[in-house]
Structure 1
Amino acid sequence: MILDTTKNQLAADSALPNYDTAVGIHPKRHVPQAPIKYDFTGWAQSSMFLMPPRGFPIQQPLYRITVELDLNPFLPVSHVTKVFRCGDQENELVAEFSFALNHKRAVLSMGDTVTRLSNALFSVNSTPKHFNWILGHRLHWDCREMLGNGSPLCVCYLPPSSTAGQYEGVKIASFIPPPPDASPPLPDATITIFPQGHQLMDHIIVSALVVERMLTR
């Protein structure tokens, strides 16, 4: 009887969805074979969400993003952006970064690392729309192309193994923020994750938000 109860409990536990299933991110053995486009919801009540496509069976956000003011009297006034993971690990802080309003100070906290933002993201050849991300995973963001509505098209690459004059490697994401100079209502930002990017979602989302802040700073 005890053995049967244990087996039943194990079966019930195994039937529960894991985090990957709940938020629509496939584990490594089920990597999507096509790009998936996610939408950032409109800004409301000091937060926004990253949502899966409408056709997904589970309409549950993947991430929640908040922004608040840091009024520490001993530091420059800053905007602090926090990225939380949703799903089974609701409200787990993935990363936070702050940009001072009238100062060059910028700080990033992700995992066990707290550092100045310049130690995680820097421009390529001093180009204001071309960045390398070197925290944890090396990513390359190229935002030099503009769409017809004024939105930048930011493409994320895994850098090639050989860097002999070549920056473009494997394309893993494309990010389209709203046009900064357009009249409201603004279109929602979108991010498309390619098959090899799903295992790097945390770093792609955080670095995309940092890049967007750099573009509009």
Structure 2
Amino acid sequence: MTISERLAAIRRRIENACARCDRDPNDVRLVAVSKKKPAADIEQAHRAGQQLFGESYVQELMEKAPLVAAPVEWHFIGGLQSNKVKYLRGRVTLIHSVDRLSLAREISRQWQKEASVADILLQVNLAREESKRGAAEDEVLELVPQIAELPGVRIRGLMTLPPYAENPEDVRPYFRRLRRLAEQIAAAGLPGVEMRELSMGMSHDFETAIEEGATLIRIGTAIFGARN
């Protein structure tokens, strides 16, 4: 299958998942995860109607973005070191992976240099897996009011990467917990904090994530094929 055909198949699956849970497909945005894939693949996906692309490595984004002539939108979805934040300024519209106050402070500092505000998601490690980044649920509840006070960032929602499971039903509880955590945070009504985005679901489980409220699904392999 071509990239265009894979994208069309995924869009049909998104529409079907939304129909099952009575959601508007326009409320679910597809982030095409293009890490390890060449700029030509991104251009091909853009010609097939894909606008939004996610990268996990700062260096790769810096090298690849200038090679993509199409007017695409970049999100950063990977683990982020504070000393790399400056390279994302002006390049990305959303950072999915903020998991500590020090990182949020650096993002705020960098974006303020251009008198702008960074939109961010807080990454939640619901299973407390040591191999994955993200703050625990109780830590997130403490982080939100602290980060909300920073002048150069806006909290737009939450992101999670649950444990891998062959059966998507096994990870449904994690998606549901993220949605409930977002509802709890939204109920606090903190100024500058919105829970409009839930970034969750990947190639093998995105339909389940949509059924549990995902607004951003991050799909790589099902679009671009296996990574080298």
Same fold (TM over 0.5): no
| TM-score (norm. length: structure 1) | 0.34
TM-score, normalization by structure 2: 0.33
